[in-house]
A and B are shown apart, each in its own frame.
Chain A
Amino acid sequence: MDFALSPNRVDFVPRTVTQPAKIVIAGAFAVGKTTFVASVSEVAPLRMEEPIIRASTTVDDLTGTPGKNTTTVGLDYGRIHLGNQLVLYLFGTPGQIRFRPLWEDLTEGALGALVLADTRDLDASHDILGLLESQNTPYAVAINLFDHAPRYPLPEIRQALALEDHTPLTECDAREYGSCLQALITLTEYLTRPAPPLEPQP
């Protein structure tokens, strides 16, 4: 943890920056979220660590065995300067949805989410898509093209993920800057479009 003792390594944003924006990079375990953030961030990605008290214990349990009751969830993030005044933060989410308060902290105020998925385990994305939908966080999906993963036509993937027609679905290589940037543009274009029609009002 020597980084904690080296505050002079902090990378300050210039005083001209007045506006932060946030996009979350979501997806199941080992789907390439950290790689994506590292590829597109202008600074070396940083990691926060949130101690989580396991749900099986109560917050009043002070019996002195915290190592057994807590786990730590690492949250990687990076940033991109968009002109002099605006900085975009990209936060990777946990791979599981069981840390709900943490998800809420991450998605609160986010412009939207880019959900990465792996064709070898599309089912692993369902919980995360469901959570984003329940939080009303708009999202796009990007298939991370792993070298040895099978390729499928996007319409088949759309069906497998049960995506709405308006939800953008694209492909990217999380190792490549330009590819990641394009996936973020796909999401942001969607976010700037007028909202899809809602259910008929009663």
Chain B
Amino acid sequence: MVEFDGVGLRYGPDAEVLSDISFNLQPGSFYFLTGASGAGKTSLLKMLYLAQRPSRGIVRLFGEDLVSMPRQRLPGFRRRIGVVFQDFRLIPHLSARDNIALPLRIAGVGEDDLSGPVGEMLSWIGLGDRAEAHPATLSGGEQQRVAIARAVIARPQLLVADEPTGNVDPEMATRLLGLFEALNRLGTTVVVATHDIHLISRIENAQMMRLEKGRLADPTGALRYPPANRA
């Protein structure tokens, strides 16, 4: 699904923010990415959702080398990835409904075909009655839910979430995590960056990816050589 091999990332002439990152994400697996602030979680996620190319190393996504891939091929890969941003990144002049429908519209889904899924998603996140509300009129938690709905509406093969429950109450956090689990059961690979220990403990088979000062802690080699891949 996703393979990083000896990946390093630096911004400009500064020292690397990520060094020698190697892992192999298995299809249908659930991962928590943890680490102290500044450890490089967001930088790693950026490479996962194709907002950043590495400075060195190999990145393979869905079996293809992304480092040398021409940029005009990237949109096709991005449509297979759902992203939940820490700062939501909702489009301010669009309603909640239109924000959620965005990935489907970009993918060319017709209006007749998207109204059902979008309505269901709005109901599921508890914003069925606020479908036409604009982000500025929504609370932080509501915006978070819209952002998550937008990330999952197109049933992505890879879901990347950066602190997805940071702005919601525990009950909603549980429901959103349930949504991630449900997607995971349907085959979506999920990577969630979080500081929330309680969240991590709720997913039984989740694997941990811990970043320490820009390096991935993998003492057993399970991330680089997952059991299914071991000789």
- Whether A associates with B in a native complex is no
Q: Which residues does B use to contact A, with CB under 8 Å?
A: none
Q: Which residues does A use to contact B, with CB under 8 Å?
A: none
